[in-house]
Chains A and B, each alone.
Chain A
């Protein structure tokens, strides 16, 4: 189940008509037919292969954005939690500024200033607004780990700050933020779909579930399949990442090894 969201990327040729760009306008909006299990979109393209090819951009954005914010969160959260004082003050106040923004409006405004809306720019903007919550979690779990005696023991042995952080503090503090990150992959994919739906995310020649949902919004009263299938894939992917989060939580417990 965890792997299912990643796998469809290679599935597109399964039902014969694999090329998502091979379209005939006369089949516009038709329902499922032999070799085209999901039917056709408004341009007459095979919807199944479109949805399958959309997986790549949607997942790339989800993984890239959360990967970026996870990296930022681990670094900044550990610094803020471990050193405290001025470092903590600065990082925490910057987080507060981001918490003050209305999320979606903030993302729309920032994306408007970008010239190109490709996978990278959308991921960066999404990461820009997801790192503060992850950093806050990381900071608080580092605070908890920092006061444990094995950290004192390492300091007393003469270990350097870097060694203490990398060997002792981060491995013991990372579990909550890693679990939360895998949960937020789902949220980020949804946010990307929402941004695209609002017209500031990826644009038409690119394929993502958001683009397809965006295209579907005008026609779904007549052609329900345009809305249902991308939405179904989106839900399954989000659910899978939630489950992945659960798996991670179990895997991070040293007792279970």
Chain B
């Protein structure tokens, strides 16, 4: 249980350092080891300047079923790059990602498509993450069309209605287009799309930071309710420490592409060991009494 004070990759030894003895009984759903992503500078004129720092630099993390890992750090620290690696939108320069024991980073074509069902992404910007030309029903139905087996043709309509209801939207509005909805409602549509394939893991990339505070609370509550109901594990990325404290079981602090500290909410928020964590905590405004 003693956590190493070394900065990088605390998961190297087989000893469980999750800091939560309860969750260690549950199966691992997501495991990333030594992920590195270097963005290649393109163009033959700039190829010399390849000494740039990697966006993600040796990140390792584990996630158990039904657990929430908060990922905090300042903007530009590589949180979103990490989210894209975990969901196989980008390929890592090195390291690997395992979802339910399957390597996601090496698969191709059909196998990759099948493996992707288990890990889904919720986006930051509710305005650009939905195709403006499609109806809400079509957006939520699309995952079911790409992956044929989870819902046979005749069940799709019902499943879409079910999903919209699940995220608190009126299923009768399935024929409307995204621009008719508010930011919070659009985010719910994005969540419904992510849940369509019944994933084990949902990676949320700043899902509430584009919303105003009252709507944030509703969406955060929706996330926790869905977790209770469906047993989903979240990687919850945010720069808002208060939201992460509310949501997360464990917290990982990211700085310059590395995870500098990882532990339970109490460990991080009350007994931060790494100077950057302390700095981050002290820089956020104190909550009102």
From B130, B142, B177, residue with most partner A Cβ within 10 Å:
B142
Contact, CB under 8 Å: B142 / A157:
yes
Known contacts A149-B129, A254-B132; decide if A154 and B117 are in contact (CB<8 Å).
Answer: no
0/1 per residue, B104-146, Cβ < 8 Å to A? 0000000011101100110111001111111000000011001
Contact, CB under 8 Å: A157 / B129:
no
Known contacts A149-B123, A149-B125, A254-B132; decide if A154 and B142 are in contact (CB<8 Å).
Answer: yes
CA gap between A209 and B131 in the complex, in Å: 44
Contact, CB under 8 Å: B142 / A172:
no
Residues of chain A contacted by B113 (CB below 8 angstroms): 158
Contact, CB under 8 Å: A156 / B128:
no
A42 CB → nearest B CB, Å:
54
Name the CB-closest residue of A to B115. A158
B147 at the interface (CB under 8 A from A): yes
B72 CB → nearest A CB, Å:
21
Name the CB-closest residue of A to B203. A156
Known contacts A156-B87, A257-B177; decide if A168 and B131 are in contact (CB<8 Å).
Answer: yes
Q: Which residues of chain A from 138 to 183 have a CB within 8 Å of any chain B CB? A: 148-150, 152-159, 163, 167-168, 171-172
**Within the complex, which residue of B128, B177, B179 is in contact with A149, where a contact is CB–CB below 8 Å?**
B128
Name the CB-closest residue of B to A150. B131
Name the CB-closest residue of A to B84. A152
Contact, CB under 8 Å: B179 / A155:
no
Contact, CB under 8 Å: A150 / B130:
yes
B193 at the interface (CB under 8 A from A): yes
B188 CB → nearest A CB, Å:
15
Known contacts A163-B146, A254-B179, A257-B177; decide if A158 and B116 are in contact (CB<8 Å).
Answer: yes
Residues of chain A contacted by B121 (CB below 8 angstroms): 152-153, 156
CA gap between A157 and B117 in the complex, in Å: 7
B217 at the interface (CB under 8 A from A): no
Residues of chain A contacted by B132 (CB below 8 angstroms): 172, 254
Residues of chain B contacted by A254 (CB below 8 angstroms): 132-133, 177, 179
A161 CB → nearest B CB, Å:
11
B242 at the interface (CB under 8 A from A): no
B88 at the interface (CB under 8 A from A): yes
CA gap between A167 and B132 in the complex, in Å: 12
Residues of chain B contacted by A148 (CB below 8 angstroms): 128
User: Could you list 8 A-B pairs, sorted by A, with CB under 8 Å?
Assistant: A152-B123, A153-B130, A154-B142, A156-B89, A156-B116, A156-B120, A157-B116, A157-B143
By a beta-carbon cutoff of 8 Å, the part of chain A in contact with chain B is 148-150, 152-159, 163, 167-168, 171-172, 254-255, 257
Sample of 5 more A-B contacts, CB < 8 Å, known A158-B113, A158-B117, A167-B142: A150-B130, A152-B89, A157-B143, A167-B134, A171-B133
Closest 9 A/B residue pairs (Cβ): A158-B113, A149-B129, A149-B128, A150-B131, A158-B116, A148-B128, A149-B123, A156-B121, A157-B143
